[in-house]
Structures are given as structure tokens and as C-alpha cells.
Amino acid sequence: MHRSVAKLALLLATVIFSVAAAHARQLQLAHAAGASCLPHERDALLAFKQAGNDTYDFLASWQRRHKDCCRWRGVTCSNETGHVIELDIGVTFLEGKISPSLLSLEHLEYLNLNNTNLLGPDGTSLFPEILCSLSNLRHLDLSGTRFSGRLPAQLANLSNLEYLDLSETSLHGPNGRAPEFLPRKNLRHLDLSGTQFSWRVSPQLFNLSKLEYLDLSHTSMSGILPPQLGNLSNLRHLSLGFMQDIHTSDISWLTHLHFLEYVDMSNINLSRADVFLVANTIPSLKALILISCALPNADQSLTQVNLTKLEQLYLSGNYLGHRIETCWFWNLTSIKDLELESTYLYGPFPDALGGMISLQRMNFNYNGNSATMTVDLKNLCDLETLLLDRSLAFVNLTDFVMKLPQCSSNKLKMLSSNHNNMAGVLPDMVGHFTSLKSLYLYNNSITGAIPTGLVNCTSLRTVALGLNQLSGQIPTLPRSLTQVDLSMNSLSGPLPSDFGAPDLTVLSLSSNYITGHVPSPICKLQNLVFLDLSQNRFEGEFPRCSSMPNLIFVHLSNNNFSGNFPPFLQNCSQLTFLDLAMNGFDGALPVWIGDLVNLRFVQLNHNMFYGDIPANITSLVLLQLFSLASNNISGSIASSLSKLIGMTLKHLPRSEPQWFEFTGSTDEMLPVDILSVVMKQQELKFRGAAFTDIVSIDLSLNYLTGELPDDITSLNGLLSLNLSWNHLSQKIPAKIGDMKSLESLDLSRNNISGEIPTSLLDLTYLSSLDLSYNNLAGRIPTGRQLDTLYAEDPSMYDGNSHLCGLPVQRNCSGNSPPEHGNHQRSENAYEPVMFFYIGLASGFVVGLWLVFCAFLFKRAWRHAYFRLFDKLCDKVYVFVVVTWGRINTKATAS
């Protein structure tokens, strides 16, 4: 018994020993071979993984059964000692906590946690102090992490640190004092860009003799740039752009930085700093970034330009305002990337541009349309991007295209020349640009046909040729296209039977003279999001597509479409905007319209729809614009209107619809033609997303009967309610005063009886009221805005023989003879052409300008970047003039 136990023990011991020995041998072997890992470090790594949350499985290889942790993803061990020395798990989106087990990796030299979502061991986003104990650390990258708050002073203990990147975090320095925290001795790379650091820039800050890379851009630092920066003699990269409030008048210290390759001083006022003379003494410079530096000019005559390595030159946002050719940099053939946006340079481009053979990208947007470009660019074989929006005075497009790079491997990817007075035809040879992805020529004077050669641009994804004078038929388009804007031209003839571009998401053909049926291959455009065929001469039924599930925006107004409410819309559950106005659609409105729950804007006016308003319409809880005006709708108004909560104030603020994903270089260029909405007895025109805030119901000119349901008064976000020219009867709801947002109320030409509720006086925003030609009786409420409105429009109570009171100067106690109003429906006045003129005459000028301004400011705020107000005004002007002309032409033509 004892013996066998002893034997067993011996056996076990032997086994254990031999396993251990083998393991040790294995380890040694592995070490010798340069890869293995120490068990306690493996455990530490596993504990690290355990504490985190590896949602995306980046650390899938971190498994106990994969013994050699040196081969795990992101782990590197030392060849000599086998210790883990590098941990690189940047961009893994790891979540959870950093495990204190990290401290076991005491030989760690390199730690990259960039763009992870880790928190400290304590579960907070405070800087994890345990990192300060990794005393061998040389490289620490925490950029884009969630860490915030104050850095601990112990960070200075990391005396071996050479590389520190805290960019794009919410970290800031200890006690807002000078940066004692920095481990100075060995630091070569310091990136604090986009952090919350807010010191005054002090000389001590730059007492870092080995520093090669310094990025303080987009921080809240302030003060005067100290000349001690010039002591950082090893500096190669200096980025000081867009700091809070930095001043300097003397940057001569830059001349001491003999290795400097990259300098960014954007948004620092350098108006008196002679920056180009200084820069010219640093021949090592590769990038000079001086955006919005208040530079007065760039026409220094540098006797000898030293900057032969310069690749990147950004001078955008400086009002240089002199002739283009006098700039000092045109002879620098090393330049690859040139930004001159909003510099207001003018005159001809110099021929030297044609010799800048390294040029890959030139941004000359927004320079005020006074430059000319006749330079031969044939030899710029590397040119990928050329941006000239709103900068050229006049260009012959044909000549211009002929002079674009014509190299065997053509790299041109993006050409943008919007708002430029480009005239002439787009030549067929545009098909040579087989790399071209985006072609923007919006708002020019391009004539002729769209060249058939375009189909050979096999990389083309976006084409914007809107607002030109293109004529002829639309040819087959390149297969690669996803976004097309050909709106506001004079294109005619039918659409090609095959679009040839199955991946289209945006198709805007509005305001042309396109005729015929929409060909059924349009149904193949399964990715279509935005479809605008408005203001053309399309006819017949829209093809019965089975589904186009991604449609958000459908604008078919002002055509001759006929047939029922288009059945293909039934499955468009994303549909937000639907405008079928001014067509010949007929039939009943489908009940399934209630399933299109994302609908916000619905215009069906001026068609021949008949039958009831489907009760299911009240399922459209986002609905804010609904017009059925001038149809043959009968029946009564549903009483469950209170369900339309999109028309209540509770629903504010409304988001801007997101269908304008047209990724042009100019955000003002939207593939959206004007939307017209009748409000306040005038036609208001909106462009882009300006109509986001409209809340309106228009059921005028129909055959509605019954009462005006009380429920309608719960729609207190409604700005405009028009029920005129119907057969509505009974009373105006007493609580009409609850519709606090109402600016326009038109109940004229019905059979409404009873008194005018005094609560009408509560509608303080009311600026248009029409109650004429009803059977209203009793005393007219007076006071506040009602008196003003009456003064402006004395006819607003006309044709109500039993009304009395001050405004109509009929004594309420007395018996006055009933007045005979003219109840004839004069629908002719609302026929499309006349309708236009009425709108134009009364509302166009005032309404349009107001709406435009609001819209433009809004967008300008969102995207403002060197966009000045006068440019916007230019645009409004151009747009108004062009539109005005176009509408006039159309109206007279038809």
C-alpha cells in the first residue's frame, strides 16, 4: 500500500519534473529562437484582456492555449530577454477598464492605446496613474481615447519617454500651470493637439532640447509665442495652428530651426512678420501652412527662392488681393499641394503653373470670379484635384478641357468649377479622364449637348451640371455614377431607355424640357434615395416599380403625369418628402399612405384626386406639410387630427432632413430645385432644406363638407391653415385661439356659420386672415392684430351678411339688409400658369428673399469656412435672376 503510494508519488514527481524541464528547455529554445513569452506576463496580458471588453474581437489571438504570447496580435517581445516590450492595440475600440495587471509588464517600452474606449482601473476616465509607473516607457500614445481631466504630475517620472501623444482627448495640464509634468530629458515627439490644454505659452514649455515634433494646434493655449522656440534646434515638425489666442510680431526665431520640415501657424496674425522672407531661409521646409494669418500679400520678390523642397503650401483665408502671377511661388516645381482658397488673387494664371509638374492638388476656390485660366496643364501628370469654384471670370470650357493633363496614366480625380461663367460646350474628349470621380460644373453657361464621350469616364461617380444651358437629349451615363444633377438646363427629348448607372442614389433632372414616359428601367435603381423630375414635360403613368426601398425624396411636380397615386411608393418606408403637385394624377388616395410613417412633406395639390381623405393619414405622426389643394376631394375632415403630432409645438425642434448627401466641394450646391408652398395667400419658394420649419395644411379648392373638427385646434404648431373654397359648414371651433403658431388662416368661401370666436384675438402671430364669403354672423371681435389685419385687407370679412361691429360699420343691434356676395367659384384663377404669376407678383420678391436669407445663414453657419456673406448674396442674386428668367420663359412657352 505505502509502496504503491510512494511509487505513484515518485512517478508523479518525475512526470512533473520532466514536464517542467521540458518546458524550461522549450522556453530557452524559444528565447534562443527569438520568440516566447514569460508566464507571468502572459497572465498579465490575459488579465488585461479580461478587464476590457473586446467587442470587435481584435484580441481573438489572446488565448491561454496559444502559449506564445509574443505572437499575439499587438504584442512584441524582446529578442534578448523575452519580455513583452511593445503593446500596440491602437484603433481596436476596446472598451472596459485597463487592468492593473499591466504593471507586471515592467519592461514595456511601447504602449499604444489610441482610439480605444478604455477607462482607468478605477472605472473613471481620469488619466490612469498606473501608466506613470511603467518607468521603461518610451512611447505612449493615448490619442483619441476617452481620458479627460488633469494629467498627474507623476508623468514626469517617465524619464525615458521619447514619444507622447495625447491628441484629441479632453486632457489638460496639472493646475493650469507651466508644464512641469513633462518628462523632458528624452522627449522627441509631443502631440497635444485638440486637447484642453490652456496655458499661456511660456518659454519653459519649450525647454525640451531633443524635441523633433511639436503639435499644439487646436488647443486653448494663449499668449505671445516665445522666441525660445528657436532653441528647439532639432525640431522638424511645428504645428501651432488654430490655438486660442496667440500673438507674435517676430518669428525670426524660425531661422534657427535648420531641420524644420513642417510649420503650421494658421490663425496666428502674421501681418507684420515677413513670414516668407523668414521661411526662405529654411531650405529644409516641405510644408508651410499659413491659413488665415492676415498675410497682406504673397508677391515678395525673393531674389532667390530657396524652398526647393516645398511640397505643401497653404495660404487660404488671407486677403492677398493682388495679381496671381506676382506670387513668389510659381517657380517651385516641388509643390504638390497648393491651397489658395479665399485669397482674392486675380488676373491670369502664369504659364509657370504648367511647369509645376509635381502638382497633385490645387484649391483655388472662392476668389471672387476675377481670375483667368488659359494655362496649358497638359504636363501635370500627377494632378488629381483641381478646385476653381467661384473664382474664374470667364473660361471657354472647350479650351479649358483640352488643356487639362493628358498623360498616359491620367490621374485627375476631381474637377470642380462651379459658379464660374464657363461658356462653350463640354467636349467629347472628357471621356479621356478615366480616373475622374467627380465633375462639378454647376452654375455656368455651358451650352450644347452632354457629350456621349462621358460614358467613357468609367470611374465617374458624381456629375453636377445643374444650372447651365445644356440642350439635347440625355445620353447613356457611365455605369459607375451614383449622383447626377442635370437640373435647370434645357435638356429635352425622352430619357434614355437605359440609365446605365445601376447604383444611382441621386437623380435630379428638374426644370428641363424632358418629355415622354419615364422608362421602366428606372425601377432597377434600387439604391435611389433622391429623385427629382419636377418641372419637365413627363407624361403618362410612372412605371409600376415593385419597390425602391431607399427613396427618401420624390419630387415629380409640374409635369403631365397621370394615373393613380403611384403604386411604387407603397414600399418606400423611408419616404420623407413627396411632391406630386401640378400633374394629372387622379383616383382615390390609397389607405397605405398611412404606412409611410416617415413622411414629413406631402404636396398633392393641383391634381384630380377624388374621394375622401384617408383616415389613415393620421398615422403620419411626422407630417408637417400637407397640401391637397385644388383636387376633387370630398367627404369630411377626419376628427382624429390631434394625432398629427408633427404639427404640434411639442414636436420641436425639427431636424433638418438628411437627403442632401451630395458631396460637392460647395455645399451650397444642392440637387434640389425650388419647392413652392402657398402660404399667406402667396407662393413662397424654398430651396434646399429651408422649408424644414414649415408647418402647414392646405385643403383649399375641394369639395369638403361637414364641420371643421374641434380637434384641429390641438395642432398648435401649424403656421398656415387653408380650407378655403370648400363646402364646410357649422362653426369655427371656439378654441381656435389654441393654435398659437398660426400666421395664416384662410376659411373663405365655405358655408361656415355662427360667430367668429373671440379667441381669434389670441393668435398673436396672425398676419393673414380671410373669412370672407361664409355665413358668419354676430359681432366681429376687435382689438390687437385683428384691427391691423383688417386695415391691411378690408375684404377679409366680405360676403358675411350677418356680421356686424366696428370693422364692417354695421351696428350690431340694428337690422341691416343682407349683403349679396359673389359665391361663384372662379377656379380659373388657379390654373397653373396664372398661379405662377399670382405667386410671383405678390410673394416671390418678398417671401423668397426672406426665406433665402434665413436658409443661407443657417447653412452658412454649419459649414462656414472662409465663406463670406457677400458670396452668399452673389449666389442669391444669381439664383434669383436665373430662376426668374427661367420661370418666365417656361410660363410664356406653355
Site residues, ligand NAG (CB under 6 A): 34, 53, 55, 79, 88, 90-91, 95-96, 112, 114, 132-133, 141, 143, 154, 157, 165, 280-281, 283, 302-306, 331, 352, 396, 398-399, 423-424, 428, 431, 452-453, 455-456, 591-592, 594-595, 616
Decide whether 13 or 91 has the Cβ nearer to ligand NAG.
91
Q: Which residues of 542-555 are buried (b: 16+ CB within 10 A; e: fewer)?
A: bbebeebebbbbbb
Measured from the CB atom, the residue of 198 and 456 that comes closer to ligand NAG is 456
Judged by beta carbon, residue 114 or residue 489, the one nearer ligand NAG is 114
- Minimum Å gap between C-beta 95 and ligand NAG is 6
Q: Is the peptide bond before 653 cis (omega within 30 degrees of 0)?
A: yes
Query: Closer CB to ligand NAG, residue 591 or residue 652?
Result: 591
Give the burial string for 320-337 (b: 16+ CB within 10 Å, else e). Answer: bebebebbbbbebebbbb
Residue that the C-alpha cell 420641436 belongs to: 652
**Minimum separation from the CB atom of position 643 to ligand NAG (A):** 10
Q: Is 753 helix (H, G, I), strand (E, B) or coil?
A: strand
3-state secondary structure 107-158: CCCEEECCCCCCECCCCCCECCHHHHHCCCCCEEECCCCCCEEECCHHHHHC
Would you say the C-alpha torsion 184, 186, 189, 195 has a positive or negative sign? Answer: negative
Query: Measured between alpha carbons, how far is 477 from 500 in angstroms, rounded to an integer?
Result: 6
CB of 760 to ligand NAG, least distance (A): 33
Task: State which residue has the least CB distance to ligand NAG.
Answer: 90
Instruction: Supply the minimum distance, in Å, between the C-beta of residue 76 and ligand NAG.
Output: 6
What's the min distance (Å) between Cβ of 268 and ligand NAG? 22
Cβ-based nearer residue to ligand NAG, 283 or 587: 283
Least distance in Å: CB of 433 to ligand NAG? 12
Q: Nearer Cβ to ligand NAG, position 74 or 657?
A: 74
* HSE-CB for 870 with a 13 A CA cutoff: 7
Q: Identify which of residues 430 and 803 has a Cβ nearer to ligand NAG in the complex.
A: 430
Q: What CA dihedral angle connects 559, 561, 565 and 571, to 10 degrees?
A: -80
User: Which CB sits closer to ligand NAG, 261 or 673?
Assistant: 261
Task: Count the neighbouring beta carbons within 10 Å of the beta carbon of residue 650.
Answer: 9
CB 483 within 8 A of CB 503: no
The answer to whether 773 touches 749, Cβ cutoff 8 Å, is yes
- Closest contact distance (angstroms) between CB of 261 and ligand NAG is 14
Residue with smaller CB distance to ligand NAG, 283 or 657: 283
Q: Which is nearer to ligand NAG, 86 or 743 (CB)?
A: 86
Task: Report how far apart, in Å, the C-alpha atoms of 306 and of each of 117, 270, 327, 335 are.
Answer: 46, 21, 15, 13
**Which CB atom, from 69 or from 629, has the smaller least distance to ligand NAG?**
69
Nearest-approach distance from CB 590 to ligand NAG, in angstroms: 8
Cβ-contact 784, 769 below 8 angstroms? no
Quote the least distance from Cβ 283 to ligand NAG, whole Å.
5
Output 559-567 pairs: Cβ under 8 A, ≥24 positions apart.
559/533, 559/534, 559/535, 559/583, 560/584, 561/585, 562/586, 563/587, 564/590, 565/589, 565/590, 565/593, 565/604, 565/609, 566/541, 566/542
CB atoms near residue 813 (< 10 Å): 5
User: Cell 437629349 identifies what position?
Assistant: 473
- C-alpha span between 487 and 513 (Å, rounded): 10
Task: Tell me the closest approach of the beta carbon of residue 801 to ligand NAG, in angstroms.
Answer: 41
Between 453 and 496, name the residue whose CB sits nearer to ligand NAG: 453
Closer CB to ligand NAG, 458 or 888, in the complex: 458
| Closest to ligand NAG by CB, 256 or 411 | 256
For residues 466 and 511, give the distance between their C-alpha atoms in angstroms, rounded to a whole number: 10
SS3 assignment for 468-517: CCCEECCCCCCCCCCEEECCCCEEEECCCCCCCCCCCCEEECCCCEEEEC
Contact 728, 753 (CB under 8 A): no
Minimum distance, C-beta of residue 440 to ligand NAG, in the bound complex (Å): 20
**CB 55 to ligand NAG: min, Å:** 5
- 693 φ, ψ to 5°? -95, 0
SS3 259: coil
Q: For ligand NAG, which is the closer residue by CB, 279 or 504?
A: 279
Rg (CA), the chain: 36
Smallest gap, in angstroms, from Cβ of residue 318 to ligand NAG? 20
For the chain, what percentages of helix, strand and coil (3-state, to nearest 5) are there? 25, 20, 55
Please list the residues that pair with 751 across neighbouring strands. Answer: 729
In the complex, least distance from residue 616 CB atom to ligand NAG, rounded to whole angstroms: 4
Report the phi/psi class of residue 871: left, alpha or beta, with left for phi > 0 and alpha for psi in -120 to 50. Answer: alpha
Three cell numbers written together for 10:
515518485
Q: Do 232 and 203 form a contact (C-beta atoms < 8 A)?
A: no
CB closer to ligand NAG out of 4 and 304: 304
Q: Would you call 32 exposed, middle or buried from its count of C-beta atoms within 10 A (0-12, 13-18, 19+)?
A: exposed
C-alpha 810/C-alpha 808 separation (Å) is 5
Least separation in angstroms between CB 399 and ligand NAG: 5
Residue closer to ligand NAG (CB basis): 326 or 730 = 326
Helices and strands in the chain, H and E counts: 8, 54
**Cβ 428 to ligand NAG, closest distance in Å?**
6
560, containing H or E segment: strand 560-563
Cβ at position 366, least distance to ligand NAG in Å: 24
**547: Cβ contacts below 8 Å, ≥ 6 apart:** 526, 568, 570, 571, 572
Q: Which is nearer to ligand NAG, 602 or 851 (CB)?
A: 602
Min dist CB 112 to ligand NAG, Å, is 5
